[in-house]
Structure 1
């Protein structure tokens, strides 16, 4: 049976990198919670705008686009809350990563098909003038967020969580 002194000795002997991982994961977890929380909160006040943004991608039948548009803000807020409290962190990171992959695919698809839309990632969305699109910027931003989600999927242990 380990004593408290054994645990302290093991922690002191661990490389600084290993001791820093939970703190880095904490920062990543809180950052992702903020990103998903902001995205969801900015959409939830304008559910019709969220639906309009999903419809602008022209990927789904109207009724499916409406369902996605109405549900997406709630999913993003739920992910934010789960990440913020650190509950099922790896699962939340994987779900968030899959959501980000869907966003990246949607934006890339709109760009490839010559649509002129705002992604609606943080509210708004829908048709815009051809010169107002920012597809590359949006894809690169979401790839950065995806890297954060991947980090958290591989290193889910962080400080101040409800996870064990």
Structure 2
């Protein structure tokens, strides 16, 4: 079991999956921040004064973290930030479901679907991958896909 967890290819696959998901999720939000602001407002969790700035900043952080995960830069920092985002997303979506809100999750901008337990499970899986990256990427040599092995 330990050899599977420490497998450099598993960490690499996790990095690419989480990185690509976060890059894709950020694109529409960056292009149409107004729609993302409406999605954030639907959760009824943030004060009105923070909604627009959140809608502008969060997608750029998602994009940068996704790029960093794929390119192997700042792996621990970016996986830590991604983990914090995912915990927040899980709590927000769960809160919306438990309060009976029928809103778009805002997960993928224009292509968002309604909040659901499926989204919570999806985010939990991404969170586990991100935690795996955080703990095991520094313990495995030659994680950078562009490095030549010896």
TM-score tier by shorter-chain length is 0.7 to 0.9
In structure 1, runs of 5+ residues without a counterpart are: 1-16, 127-131
2:93 to 91, 102, 107: 107
CA deviation after TM superposition for structure 1 residue 143, in Å: 0.6
User: What corresponds to 2:109 in structure 1?
Assistant: 123
Q: Deviations over 1:94-118 (max 9, x none)?
A: 1101100000000011111121111
In structure 2, runs of 5+ residues without a counterpart are: none
CA deviation after TM superposition for structure 1 residue 136, in Å: 0.5
Bigger radius of gyration among the two: 1
Q: Distance in 2 between matches of 1:117 and 1:103?
A: 14
Q: Would you say the 8 A contact 2:93–2:115 is kept in 1?
A: no
User: What corresponds to 1:52 in structure 2?
Assistant: 38
Per the normalisation by structure 1, the TM-score is: 0.78
Q: Would you say the 8 A contact 1:86–1:161 is kept in 2?
A: no
Q: Distance in 2 between matches of 1:84 and 1:41?
A: 16
1:10-159 matches, within 5 Å, as 17=3, 21-124=7-110, 133-156=114-137, 157=140, 158-159=143-144
Q: Distance in 2 between matches of 1:79 and 1:161?
A: 18
Q: Distance in 2 between matches of 1:140 and 1:36?
A: 16
4+ residue runs of structure 1 moved beyond 3 angstroms?
none
Q: Distance in 1 between matches of 2:117 and 2:24?
A: 21
Q: Distance in 2 between matches of 1:77 and 1:96?
A: 10
Per the normalisation by structure 2, the TM-score is: 0.85
Q: Distance in 1 between matches of 2:89 and 2:146?
A: 28
2:126 matches 1:160: no
Aligned pairs, number: 141
CA deviation after TM superposition for structure 1 residue 64, in Å: 0.5
